[in-house]
């Protein structure tokens, strides 16, 4: 989520520079996004490896090759035992978490790209420290909420692997058969709801990028002319904050992709909606106070509703 966009709300509410952080807005944002990308990537990698080894959804030929690998000493006995004993529903839930984390990584990577190449923040810009801390908290809590049912198991699995590597060393680690297709194939086997959620996610993802490019171009014009400009195009025809609306669509896609049965993801979605509706309301009021000719038929964030 664009929790670092609290900085914009801070400017709307006219926070003074003494209330702002001492570092530039661009430095805070990029550093925060760097942390987000790294944390989500590490969590995704650990969860994906855990799913591959401990919760395989394998085809019959792969099961035969796994048994053969076990007989020849190529696989951990615990891994094979776990793959047999773990209920199929549990395995699908693990791979669903991998799928959700993969979508989240796509989101934070795009946001990092935009912070570097699209927005071009002014060196004089400032971010409120509350915005920075909120962003760090969100990008830690949000990915964890996508795999909350297995976070402890993934942590223990990763810790055991690291401990085993430290004690035995690389040469003494038991080699495991790695099949790239089986590393990806379980994601393809997920149900239609997950893929519909991914389509909704990508729809919001694309529109948010388009809105950010428009806002980025206006920022460049403002620095040249020292004037604020009313944004137009795409969803700006309907609402004042289409990038926030797209963010809500993105997280609605995650809810659908999760199957809609996980309370933590619903809480995440509720936090996103509440935060962005508040931010959009303040931005909408600022637009109306700043521009006498601002379109009166634009809503704040949700067309025909608010």
Chain segment 257-297, per-residue pLDDT in tens: 999 888 999 999 999 999 999 999 999 999 999 999 999 99
Looking at the structure, do residues 109 and 220 belong to the same domain, yes or no? no
Looking at the structure, do residues 94 and 236 belong to the same domain, yes or no? no
pLDDT-based confidence at 198, cuts 50/70/90?
A: very high
Domain boundary among 132, 154, 189: 189
Chain segment 214-227, per-residue pLDDT in tens: 998 887 776 666 67
Looking at the structure, do residues 155 and 27 belong to the same domain, yes or no? yes
Domain boundary among 138, 162, 189: 189
pLDDT value at 196 more than 50: yes
Tell me how far apart the alpha carbons of residues 302 and 306 are, in angstroms, rounded to a whole number: 5
Looking at the structure, do residues 207 and 239 belong to the same domain, yes or no? yes
Looking at the structure, do residues 258 and 117 belong to the same domain, yes or no? no
Chain segment 20-46, per-residue pLDDT in tens: 333 334 444 555 667 888 899 999 999
- Say how many domains are in the chain: 2
- pTM for the predicted model, two decimal places: 0.78
Which pLDDT does position 88 carry in this prediction?
A: 79
Sign of the dihedral defined by the CA atoms of residues 190, 196, 200, 206, in that order: positive
Percent of the chain with pLDDT over 90: 40
Looking at the structure, do residues 138 and 32 belong to the same domain, yes or no? yes
Which pLDDT does position 126 carry in this prediction?
A: 60
Looking at the structure, do residues 30 and 171 belong to the same domain, yes or no? yes
Q: What domain range is 210 assigned to?
A: 191-306
Q: Are 26 and 219 in contact (CB under 8 A)?
A: no
């Amino acid at each position: 989520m664009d929790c670092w966009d609290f900085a914009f709300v801070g400017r709307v509410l006219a926070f003074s520079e003494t209330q702002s952080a001492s570092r530039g807005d661009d430095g805070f944002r990029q550093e925060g996004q760097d942390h987000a990308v790294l944390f989500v990537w590490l969590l995704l990698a650990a969860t994906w490896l855990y799913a591959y080894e401990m919760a395989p959804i394998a085809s019959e030929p792969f099961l035969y090759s796994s048994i053969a690998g076990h007989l020849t000493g190529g696989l951990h006995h615990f891994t094979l035992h776990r793959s047999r004993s773990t209920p199929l529903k549990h395995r699908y839930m693990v791979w669903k978490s991998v799928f959700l984390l993969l979508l989240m990584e796509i989101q934070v990577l795009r946001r990092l790209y935009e912070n570097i190449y699209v927005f071009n923040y002014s060196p004089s810009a400032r971010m409120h420290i509350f915005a920075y801390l909120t962003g760090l908290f969100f990008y830690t809590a949000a990915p964890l909420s996508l795999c909350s049912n297995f976070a402890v198991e993934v942590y223990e699995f990763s810790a055991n692997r690291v401990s085993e590597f430290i004690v035995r060393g690389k040469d003494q680690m038991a080699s495991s058969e790695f099949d790239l297709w089986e590393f990806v194939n379980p994601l393809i086997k997920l149900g239609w709801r997950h893929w519909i959620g991914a389509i909704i996610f990508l729809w919001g993802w694309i529109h948010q990028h388009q809105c950010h490019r428009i806002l980025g171009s206006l920022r460049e014009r403002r620095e040249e002319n020292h004037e604020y400009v009313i944004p137009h195009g795409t969803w700006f025809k309907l609402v004042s904050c289409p990038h926030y609306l797209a963010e809500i669509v993105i997280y609605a896609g995650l809810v659908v992709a999760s199957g809609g049965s996980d309370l933590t993801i619903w809480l995440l979605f509720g936090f996103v909606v509440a935060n962005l509706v508040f931010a959009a309301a303040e931005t909408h009021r600022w637009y109306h106070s700043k521009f006498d000719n601002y379109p009166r038929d634009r809503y704040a964030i949700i067309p025909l509703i608010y």
